[in-house]
Structure 1
């Protein structure tokens, strides 16, 4: 199983799956973007084995580029794991305080945000494409965790996963205007006069949202691997039929 682990210690494991030409559908992990569901199922089973957990420990959402989030409980175990229809609907961020649950997020250029809290064991994943970033999903999730769950922002470690680079993320004025309206993304955009396109660094905009929510900069890491350029990456912009990476986090239980 081709994966990149961001952390793997006695308490947490977090990482992302990678594109792999030797695996079914190149290691695609998403039912909504596959040729054969059984290929995705096989890939997920391989991932479960490599992480020493079961497929029924996976929890995933039906992602819609929303700013909606869901607190995962033990009753959610297995949702979206074996059948896409059972995924948590209309949700782009998941968090949980339960052990032995693998929270899953799917991307192919969008920004995955993976986080874990050393103090209280809370874990989570966020899917932030440009629409989710404009809706400030990451900022909203972390403000909720502070206000409702009583988390201290400084107790989090946050991994921003591989995504489309600023060089490859070119947009027209309509998207630029939306980022401009945020009021804090100007440093993460430039205009290319030759192509009449704007280029946006979605990862750094998300990082700024984390900082606005109180997460210290030294607690945030960015994987600058470009999904468009890297052979390990699935890129929807490059190939509309691209598979999806699965970004994951789990708190290990006894």
Structure 2
């Protein structure tokens, strides 16, 4: 299997590409870390064919672990799909009110967040590594949608995708302190006495940010699959040369 479809209906399609050792470069989807860019484009074209949307309708960002979000319009179609140079610069969250635009997020341990509101014809994709989480990218994106775009967050549904598990997310005190300073992640961390390392649940911290913005907890699903432990997961912590998953969402 090379793709998991989370939801497919008359209005919406969303899912994630998976690592597959039987596919060139293990089905890596990232141009910024690859052996051959042509292989990555071919992998993306295979994904495009699977979901029945041309690659020219994909929109990708150059992710920098920021707290920056960007409103995608039809004029952005194809940006970052075939080359990094025209991707949305220095951005880690994309959202759009347009139809037939495939928003993309690349991860290998970081938390991918896909969201939608059918009432508002809104979809979005967020990349939240631990740096993005302590910068509160999800919270800030949803606050912007609530306050500036006038979105009723009671109508927003969120899927938090496969990521590094708390067991595998082992950090030193400096990272622990940054999470502690958030003020709401204390119950999502523990100290392992035998190693003197802290373990943090990045997925549930992101979920907490969604809830703090005003999204009902019943509207949030969390895929508790660890990218390090899963054969279908790309894990930077396991292999610094790992490829990337592509999480995608598009409304019809």
1:145 counterpart = 2:157: no
1:30 counterpart = 2:26: no
Alignment partner, residue 59 of structure 2 = 59
1:174 counterpart = 2:174: yes
Cα separation, 2, equivalents of 1:12 and 1:116? 9
Alignment partner, residue 131 of structure 1 = 131
Q: Structure 1: which 5+ residue stretches go unaligned?
A: none
**How far did residue 157 of structure 1 move?**
0.9
Cα separation, 2, equivalents of 1:26 and 1:85? 24
RMSD: 0.6
Alignment partner, residue 240 of structure 1 = 240
Cα separation, 2, equivalents of 1:113 and 1:168? 20
Q: Please state whether the residue corresponding to 2:124 is helix, strand or coil.
A: strand
Q: Please state whether the residue corresponding to 2:32 is helix, strand or coil.
A: helix
What is the 5 A alignment of 1:202-213?
202-213=202-213
Deviations 1:135-192 (A, max 9, x none): 0000000000011111111111100000000000000000000000000000100000
What is the 5 A alignment of 1:51-90?
51-90=51-90
Q: Please state whether the residue corresponding to 2:247 is helix, strand or coil.
A: strand
Alignment partner, residue 7 of structure 1 = 7
Cα separation, 1, equivalents of 2:223 and 2:24? 25
TM-score using structure 2 length: 0.99
Cα separation, 2, equivalents of 1:188 and 1:70? 29
Q: Please state whether the residue corresponding to 1:21 is helix, strand or coil.
A: coil
Alignment partner, residue 121 of structure 1 = 121
**How far did residue 83 of structure 1 move?**
0.8
What is the 5 A alignment of 1:45-56?
45-56=45-56
Q: Please state whether the residue corresponding to 1:191 is helix, strand or coil.
A: strand
Q: Please state whether the residue corresponding to 2:45 is helix, strand or coil.
A: helix
Cα separation, 1, equivalents of 2:36 and 2:84? 12
Query: What number of residue pairs does the alignment pair up?
Result: 252
Cα separation, 1, equivalents of 2:159 and 2:246? 14
Runs (4+) off by over 2 Å: none
**How far did residue 120 of structure 1 move?**
1.2
Q: Please state whether the residue corresponding to 1:14 is helix, strand or coil.
A: strand
